[in-house]
Amino acid sequence: MSAPAIPSDPPADYLTDHTVKSWLLTGDHKRIGVLFLISVTIFFFVGGAAATLLRLELMTPKGDVLASADAFNRLFTMHGVVMIFFFLIPSIPAVLGNFLLPIMIGARDMAFPRLNLLSWYIYLIGGLLGIWILIFGGVDTGWTFYTPFSSMYSNTMVVTAAVSVFIVGFSSILTGLNIIVTTHTLRAPGMTWFRLPLFVWSHYATALIMVLGTPVLAISVVLVGLERIFRVGVFDPALGGDPILFQHLFWFYSHPAVYIMVLPAFAVVSEIIPCFARRPIFGYRFIAFSSIAIAIFSFLVWGHHMFVSGQSMYVGAIFSVLSFLVAIPSGIKVFNWTATLYKGSIRFDTPMLYALGFIGLFTIGGLTGLMLASLAIDVHVHDTYFIVAHFHYIMVGGSVMAFLGALHFWWPKITGRMYPEFWGKLSALLVFAGFNVTFLPQFLLGWLGMPRRYFEYRPEFQVLNVMSTAGASILAMGFLLPLVYFLLSLRQPRNAGSNPWGATGLEWQIESPPTSHNFHGPVLVTCEPYMYSPEEAEREYAHEQLVHHS
Amino acid sequence: MANTETHIISVKTYLMVFVALIALLVATVVAAMLPLGALHLPVAMTIAVIKAAMILLIFMHVYYSPALTKIVSVAALLWAALLLTITVADYFSRGWLDILGK
Amino acid sequence: MSSSSITLEEAAVPARTETLLSHHFDDVEQQSNASILGMWFFLATEVMFFSGLITAYTIYRALSPEAFRLGSLHMHVWLGFFNTLVLLTSSLTMALAVRSSQLGRRDRTVWYMVATAVLGAGFLGVKAIEYSMEIEHNLFPGVNFQVPAEDAAALAEISATPEELQQNLGHFQIMFVLYFFITGVHAFHMIIGIVIVLIMAALMKRNWFSGNGTTQIEAMGLYWHFVDIVWVFLYPLLYLIDLSGGH
């Protein structure tokens, strides 16, 4: 088919065509990334609303805000399900992975553009089913759907929830397939594996987990659904079933799933830190290989969620040791990022604030994770707020902050506009402060023995709970501000320039926003990634400020 | 990376593999009828693995495929084995200690 | 390659053999590699999908080997044997279909693909017959499930306590849960396979594929062989646990 003449001035970018059809039938990976951005943002605030209600209830020891304990159960379940399956898992890979990966490797699109669009529609269907559940009564099993409560005793929409999770899992699998095949087959000439940005390495590792783990989740929720519908006793002890089998199948996916949520965050941090320290990343190969190592080892530790479930103590001990080992690659990354900062020329722009916050908060989350890997400690703090605090440090202090940092870093590339720096910095600080005030007390609460998923608690826990809720209100502001200023920034003209940060990487060599096919001609890669120099930094920065800021 | 077929397998090879698969099918039924006791499962699985390997290597062209394809097919089976082995290890090792419930 | 739209007359002529190239690929070989690699990784997800069920099967069979053995004696060994034969043959015809498309022999390719689909449908027909017989004998799990008297008696003999008997009876039913579910999932995959193979055969007949359709058919072949491999494991696991008759 002969190509239409490309208008010379101004060049059309991927956002130019405004028709609904062009958006809903797009094959363009950049548009699909934007579609995912809109959807995951909506779900983030839905999950956030649930969290707000939870924290309001937990301000007082008695149950007085919500109608019943039952309502509380449904709220924390929906908070978990929405945040994990509809926000965290797709967030960075489906938004930024889709948008950036092809550009970073010098390709014109992902390997399978139509499957990419399909992954968004599948996500929407699963997500809409989730909304349906929210409106029509919710689920009260916890996001972990433990049997036999979920399979036999719960009176809520468990089967619908199982279907919803099953569907959204396919979206994840398709995203993973696309990332893997794209990385293998569409790298531009000269883009060898070790010239790839670490963003690509981490997303590749994430995709491996998505592909190998998600199907097992699918089977585990289908079995729960089957048992509910047919009353067949796969997990019913009276009929010979074993509830622990569900936990094995569930956590075989759900532990690696937490690495699906954090590896893309590592990807983002590995891009931001070198740029704002103006130094090449320290230990490129270590970070690349540790990403793959994490993907592989993450499959060997799932039993640390089951120390008190009744699994054999021998296997528990083995899982404990393996869980200690899986922390090593993550530790390597933290050391490498920190070493990258050494003797750098550091700028504290908003993305960097988020990245630095990530390093600190992820380290705390990771270290508490090591505490939990120790079987003896976990026996005492399992199902307490210690666990809740641990995973929120990783998922919010880690992944969400990385997501926000990524949005700020690549916003000019995605939209062609800059966000207001003052408000960006303010939000980052609000998020950091609010987050810590919310979740640090929860470590103490867990240590003192407050159980999780409880609607009431002993009065002596109230002070820390009030502190936590207060922090949550600050955190909420930190999250709402970017929603406002990002949207407002869209009213500006597209004048951010192709490289406002003076960053390396192929995405910064093309227009902001990029054209539909990303590149105007064949791409040839000849240099290593992260060729920053601190001495050049001041000169480059001044130049960029002059040229691109009006 | 050359995944496109440069090697076209002959009809004869396909037919030979087919005949071998049928023979192994008969073998597995015969083996089930023998009094093997605890060996039934290992024998049946060994025959199944050989059949699967033949289908993989010849029908699915893995023998003539690049290394990446070979790695993917092996990795998938390895991962399935991982889930199976460790989960079975849990059930197998319960009750090894004289502690109730462990 | 610069042909734009195809007129009706052109469609009747032996089709072009240059494969249409999507804009984001540099050449046909890259495009083909990507498709095949994508199918392989998809098959990896399918392996993991079945592995959860195989794990459940392994655990429960290990917990009650006798219950599983007795349960499997209710399977129709020779129908299963016939089905395995049919499926292996369909893999042969599928492999020959791929080969024909590699050689550009379109009519032969269509023929082999139709044969594959027919054999697959035959498999499903036999499976349906088996299911109906099992349902008739109250072996479908759920409210109508009944442990046959002789099996209950056999399990009672090997159970030391009433609790153990309950467990064994429960595991007897679980065997059938897993049987119906795993073979059901397998059959579902077969249905999808048959439909797509038929669609591809029809498209092939109409010269819809821009090249010889080799990559697409090869990818479909991979899927088909995978479904066959799953059955190669299911047959001995479900039907042939122990036919030697005595313990």
Domains of chain A: 20-549 (1.20.210.10)
Distance between CA atoms of residues A522 and A189, nearest Å:
9
Distance from CA of C132 to the nearest CA of B (A): 24
What is the distance in angstroms between the Cα of A178 and the nearest Cα belonging to chain C? Answer: 8
CA C9-C14-C19 angle, 5° bins: 105
Task: Check CB contact of C146 with chain A, cutoff 8 Å.
Answer: no
| Residue A549: pLDDT band with limits 50, 70, 90 | low
* Contact partners, residue A486, CB within 8 Å, separation at least 6: A407, A411, A419
Q: What does the alpha-carbon distance between residue A466 and residue B34 come to, in Å, rounded to a whole number?
A: 71
Residue the block writes with tokens 């003209």: A493
Residue of C nearest to B85 (CA): C55
Residue A456: pLDDT band with limits 50, 70, 90: very high
Max intra-chain CA distance, chain A: 75
The answer on pLDDT for A207 being more than 70 is yes
Report, as an integer, the average pLDDT of C11-32: 74
Q: What is the pLDDT of residues A147-200, one digit of tens each?
A: 999 999 999 999 999 999 999 999 999 999 999 999 999 999 999 999 999 999
Residue numbers in A near C52 (CB within 8 A): 215-216, 218-220, 223, 249, 252
Q: With a cut of 70, say whether residue C4 has pLDDT above it.
A: no
Who among C41, C50, C225 is closest to B60 (CB)?
C225
The closest CB to that of B34, out of C228, C237, C244, belongs to C244
**C27 vs B: CB within 8 A:** no
Res A540: pLDDT: 66
Mean pLDDT, all residues of chain C: 89
pLDDT-derived band at A245, boundaries 50, 70, 90: very high
Inform me whether the C-beta atom of residue C192 falls under 8 Å from chain B C-beta atoms: no
CA distance C7 to chain A (A): 14
Residue C175 scores a pLDDT above 80: yes
Q: Whose CA is closest to A407, among A479, A321, A346?
A: A479
Q: What is the pLDDT of residue A158?
A: 95
Pair C140, C180: CB distance under 8 Å: yes
Q: Which of C22, C38, C141 sits opposite A232 (nearest CB)?
A: C141
**Identity of the residue in C24, C55, C143 whose CB atom sits nearest the CB atom of A109:** C24
Cα–Cα separations (whole angstroms), residue A474 to A77, A262, A436, A442: 23, 24, 10, 16
Residue A123 reports pLDDT greater than 70: yes
Contact A312 B96 (CB under 8 A): yes
Question: Hey, are the CB atoms on B101 and A314 less than 8 Å from each other?
Answer: no
Q: Has residue A256 got a pLDDT over 50?
A: yes
Residue A338 has pLDDT above 90, yes or no: yes
Are A149 and A73 spatial neighbours (Cβ–Cβ below 8 Å)? no
pLDDT digits (tens, 9 = 90+) for C195-220: 999 999 999 999 888 888 899 999 99
Residue B36, pLDDT score: 86
Per-residue exposure over A188-204, b if at least 16 CB sit within 10 Å of its own CB, e if not: beebeeebbbbbbbbbb
Is residue C3 pLDDT above 90, yes or no? Answer: no
Mean pLDDT of chain A: 93
Contact B14, C92 (CB under 8 A): yes
| Residues C59, A245: C-beta atoms closer than 8 Å | yes
- List the structure tokens of A273: 């830190």
Spatial CA neighbour of C53 closest among A304, B46, A152, A215: A215
Residues A97-115 have pLDDT tens digits of: 999 999 999 999 999 999 9
Instruction: Say whether pTM exceeds 0.90.
Output: yes
Three-class DSSP category at A451: strand
Which residues of C fall within a CB distance of 8 Å from A238?
166, 170
Please report the pLDDT score of residue A547 as a whole number.
63
Cβ–Cβ below 8 Å for C34 and A226 = no
Q: 3-class SS at C31?
A: helix
Contact check, Cβ <8 Å, A244/B86: no
Among chain A residues, the shortest Cα distance to C172 is held by A240
From CA C45, how far away is CA B29, in angstroms rounded? 30
Q: Which residues of C touch A181 (CB under 8 A)?
A: 34, 37-38, 41
Q: What is the reported pLDDT for A372?
A: 96
pLDDT at A179: 97
Give the pLDDT score at C13. 42
Which domains, ranges and CATH numbers included, belong to chain C? Answer: 27-239 (1.20.120.80)
What letter does residue A461 receive in the DSSP assignment?
Answer: G
Average pLDDT over residues A476-498: 94
| Residue A120 scores a pLDDT above 80 | yes
Q: Do A252 and B83 touch (CB under 8 A)?
A: yes
Please enumerate in sequence order all residues whose Cβ is within 8 A of that of A273, keeping only pairs 6 or more positions apart, or say none: A281, A337, A340, A341, A352, A355
> Nearest-CA distance from B65 to chain A in Å?
15
pLDDT on residue A535 = 76
* Residue A450: φ, ψ to 5°: -70, 125
The whole-number pLDDT of residue B6 equals 66
Higher pLDDT, C244 or A399: A399
| Chains adjacent to C (≥3 CB pairs closer than 8 angstroms) | A, B
Contact C58 B92 (CB under 8 A): no
- How many CB atoms within 10 Å of residue B55? 22
Q: Look at residue C27 and tell me whether its pLDDT is greater than 70.
A: yes
Mean pLDDT of C118-130: 97
Give me the residue spans of the domains in chain B: 1-65, 66-102
- In this predicted structure, what is the pLDDT of residue A91? 96
Quote the ipTM score: 0.91
Please indicate if any CB of chain B lies within 8 Å of the CB of A310.
Answer: yes
Average pLDDT (A261-271) is: 97
pLDDT of residue C245: 76
Q: CA A457, A459, A465 angle in degrees (round to 5)?
A: 70
In three-state secondary structure terms, A125 is helix
pLDDT in tens, C102-112: 998 889 999 99
User: Is the pLDDT reported for residue B98 higher than 80?
Assistant: no
Q: What is residue C1's predicted lDDT score, i.e. its pLDDT?
A: 36
Q: What is the DSSP letter of A111?
A: S
pLDDT of residue A10: 53
State the CB neighbour count (10 A cutoff) for residue A373: 21
C58 contacts on A by Cβ (under 8 Å): none
Structural contact between residues A187 and C25, judged by C-beta atoms closer than 8 angstroms: no
Which residue does chain B place closest to A312, by CA atoms?
B94
Give A248→chain B minimum CA distance, Å: 7
Residues in chain C with CB shorter than 8 Å from the CB of A177 are: 38, 41-42, 45
Q: Which of residues 53-92 of B touch A (CB under 8 A)?
A: 68, 75-76, 79, 82-83, 86-87, 89-92
Given a cut of 80, whether residue A409 has pLDDT beyond it is yes
CA distances (Å), A470 to each of A388, A404, A473, A474, A479, in order? 17, 22, 5, 7, 15
Residue B102 — pLDDT band, cuts 50, 70, 90? low
Residue C2: pLDDT band with limits 50, 70, 90: very low
Instruction: Say whether pLDDT at A37 is over 70.
Output: yes
Look up residue C185 and give its amino acid: V
Distance CA A241, CA A152 (A): 12
Q: Can you give A180-225 as a three-state secondary structure string?
A: HHHHHHCCCCCCCHHHCCHHHHHHHHHHHHHHHHHHHHHHHHHHHH
Picking from C45, C64, C166, the nearest residue to A211 by CB comes out as C45
Per-residue pLDDT at C19: 79
Give per-residue pLDDT as tens, A299-328: 999 999 999 998 998 999 999 999 999 999
